[in-house]
Amino acid sequence: MLSIQQTTFNGIDDLNLTQINKPVLTKNGVLIKMDLAPITPTDIKREINPNATTESFAELPRTIGFSGVGTVIEVGYNRDQSLLDQRVFIMQPTGSYSDYVLSENSDWLFPLPDNVDNASATTLTATPLVLLNSIKKYQNAGITDFILTGANSVIGQYLLQLIDPNENIHIYPIVSSASKDYFSQQFPNLQSYTTDTLPSFNNAAILDIAGSTALISRLVSKISSPVLTSIALMSYEDNIPFQFVHEEFDRDVYQNLIQKLADRQLFAPIDRIFSATQIKDAQHYTQENHSRGRVLVSFN
């Protein structure tokens, strides 16, 4: 079967399309024929920096990817037999970019409702909930103005959808001039800003998805008492209150997100779908273009 593997830390162009053995079903396993997997900035960082992720991801060679969607084709003796033929979203830390994946952790497997399509489910990420928790903590400290970098990204778009419009929260999405039209199409009732059009603040929290220190410096200059939370930067040298936050897996969070997709309370931003054999093109496209939704890779 086809597996997309990382064998060096030289980046995208060193990825290999490799034929490996199909996984053998175990009594605690579920064998899944993969359909789609997402490309995320974290995937690309892992391919150039062994320190960008956990020790296990730094061990090469490895199959890339962390999640995806497919159909269950075999079910082990100790697993729920009703999973057979079901479409599922999976978390697979050992790599999801293969024709077939053996999932042995029931917490990381999520059957999909009939009205949630594969592509939409593949975009799911819980990172917006991490930022939402930061918003709530800042609210408790009396901050109500929030400046969001990378607002047109997949994480940014999910976060904006998850914010309760009845809360006393004022969001100022920051987008580049090249992304203003796209953002307006996605959120016609929400005004976006550039650093030039952003007003000044006494107190405000910067929620950073973009990871640009130059952009953050320009935003900090607009705020008398700024605070900064980032999912992209692990440190920030300016002398302001700063925290780096990251996702910690919670099954209930993913169950809730899937249900919101099913109830049409969320829309999934999707850009393009590439064939698995075009993995290098797909990652270059993701890296070199403004975000217009999640880029997906198909194994069908």
The predicted-structure confidence for 228-245, as pLDDT tens digits, reads as follows: 999 999 999 888 999 999
Residue type (1 letter), 52: A
Q: What pLDDT shows up at residue 52? A: 58
Q: What pLDDT shows up at residue 248? A: 83
Q: What pLDDT shows up at residue 73? A: 98
Q: What pLDDT shows up at residue 264? A: 95
Residue 69 near residue 118, CB atoms below 8 Å: yes
Q: What pLDDT shows up at residue 41? A: 85
Q: Quote the distance between the C-alpha of residue 109 and its chain's center.
A: 17
Question: Any idea which fold 2-124+269-298 has?
Answer: Quinone Oxidoreductase; Chain A, domain 1 (3.90.180)
CATH for the stretch 127-244: 3.40.50.720
pLDDT below 50 — which residues of the chain? 55
Residue-averaged pLDDT of the chain:
94
First vs last C-alpha separation in the chain: 12
Q: Measured between alpha carbons, how far is 7 from 16 in angstroms, rounded to an integer?
A: 8
In sequence order, what are the residues at sequence separation of 6 or more whose Cβ sits closer than 8 angstroms to the Cβ of residue 186? 152, 157, 269
Q: Helices 154-162 and 127-140: crossing angle, nearest 10°?
A: 50
Q: What pLDDT shows up at residue 271? A: 96
Domain range list for the chain: 2-124+269-298, 127-244
Q: What pLDDT shows up at residue 262? A: 97
